[in-house]
Amino acid sequence: MEEPAPKKPKVTHDEVDGVAKVPPQELVSFVVPAHNASSTIDDCLASICNITYRPLEVAVYDDASTDDTFDKLQAWVPKCAAAGVTLHAIEKKKDTPGGAGYAKNRAAEVCTGAYFAFLDSDDMALPHRVDVQLAMAKNDPSVIVGANFTRIPEGSTWHYTAWANALTDEQLVLQQYRECTIIMPTWFMAKARFEFVGGFDEAKTSATIPEDLIFFLKHLELGGTLKKSNDTLVIYRHSSGSVCSKLPRRVLLRTRLESFERRVLSQWPTFTIWGCGRDGKAVFNELSSASKRKVVAFCDVNEKKIGTKHHDQVTRINIPIIHFRDAVPPIVCCVSMGRTDGELEANVRSLNLVHGVNFWHFI
């Protein structure tokens, strides 16, 4: 009996000539706002071209620059193309800049990638950034993925840099009201998530607004999650004239408090404020009248303050100042961490409080 001919292996849509096809990579889009960025845009775009991942595109919105930023952008179009990167250079020709939120939204509008990576025009991405963050983002469509960063000039804002880089994924959430725990130039997220949150708030006047912080808190309010790579993936340039450095402290405080009141204080019948110094009083003064009436006490370690009262001229109420050991949770802590040689942290631990439940660190 003749031996039957061997069956030919079935070729699937994932194979060509019996060789497995590599599934196409998803397009990643860099979103870059720019205003008078002539001195830094070359470094920024060169760093994106050096990223190892492909396919890649970058959209830079030149927000009414008065220098030669747009000329440099146009010169980079063929350079990016030679590196396998598509550059969309968009120019706002009106005299008045729209602001950072406006520029980021306009850049995002022309992006076609499934994922967005954000970067400022004075910052630089390291070559493996997209590979690392995309792998972390793929399993969670509601996540913002951040990363560690280095500062230039070296040593600038060292306290903030050390704090931000040391945060665990749990702390990214538990310390969300202290600061934006993931800096915007390291953000990486699905395009669909960006659109779901609604993009960045845009300043209606010449006033500067904390659009990054507003987006960040709204993302969390809408059920978003946070992750951070411990790899250093961004070089973050410090500039004394940057937009964020011009934001009034009170505007940032009010932005954080508005979210905190909606999401946390509205659920508490009463609470204690830890710290009756400048920060504690500033937080109290910015509270709504309804939230002020929920404050049963300030607590402190300063013996000169303990046993006295703080009078609020708006509500006409007197708030007692007590020792922290006598404080009744829930508690909002308005004393900076990392500045008391561990004393504050030890005192907090002694009360067996549950972070994110009956204790929130606000400053």
- Domains of the chain, CATH where assigned: 28-246 (3.90.550.10), 249-361 (3.40.50)
Q: How confident is the model at residue 13 (pLDDT cuts 50, 70, 90)?
A: very low
Q: How confident is the model at residue 339 (pLDDT cuts 50, 70, 90)?
A: confident
What does the angle CA 108 – CA 145 – CA 338 come to, to the nearest 5 degrees? 120
Helix intervals (H) in the chain: 41-49, 69-82, 100-109, 129-137, 158-166, 169-174, 191-197, 211-221, 249-263, 278-286, 289-292, 343-350
Q: What is the pLDDT of residues 61-119, one digit of tens each?
A: 999 999 999 999 999 999 999 999 999 999 988 889 999 999 999 999 999 999 999 99
Query: Which long-range contacts link 259-262 to residues 24+ away (Cβ below 8 Å)?
Result: 259/177, 259/217, 259/218, 259/221, 260/177, 260/360, 260/362, 261/287, 261/288, 261/291, 262/221
Q: What pLDDT sits at residue 212?
A: 98
Q: What pLDDT sits at residue 3?
A: 46
- pTM for the whole structure: 0.91
* Rounded distance between C-alpha atoms, residue 92 and residue 95, angstroms: 8
Q: Is the pLDDT of residue 22 over 80?
A: no
Q: What pLDDT sits at residue 60?
A: 99
Q: Is the peptide bond before 330 cis (omega within 30 degrees of 0)?
A: yes
**Percentage, residues of the chain above pLDDT 90:** 84
Q: What pLDDT sits at residue 10?
A: 46
Q: Is the pLDDT of residue 19 over 60?
A: no
For residue 180, the one-letter residue type is C
Q: What is the pLDDT of residues 181-225, one digit of tens each?
A: 999 999 999 999 999 999 999 988 767 899 999 999 999 999 999
Q: Phi/psi class of residue 190: alpha, beta or left (left: φ > 0; alpha: ψ in -120 to 50)?
A: beta
Residue with tokens 């949770």: 329
Q: What is the pLDDT of residues 298-323, one digit of tens each?
A: 999 999 999 999 999 989 999 999 99
For the segment 129-158, the average pLDDT, to the nearest whole number, is 96
Q: What pLDDT sits at residue 241?
A: 60
Q: How confident is the model at residue 337 (pLDDT cuts 50, 70, 90)?
A: confident
Q: Is the pLDDT of residue 244 over 50?
A: yes
Q: What pLDDT sits at residue 21?
A: 58
Q: How confident is the model at residue 239 (pLDDT cuts 50, 70, 90)?
A: confident
Q: Is the pLDDT of residue 243 over 80?
A: no
Q: Could you give the C-alpha distances from 339 to 142, 343, 345, in angstroms and in order?
A: 34, 9, 10
For the segment 51-61, the average pLDDT, to the nearest whole number, is 99
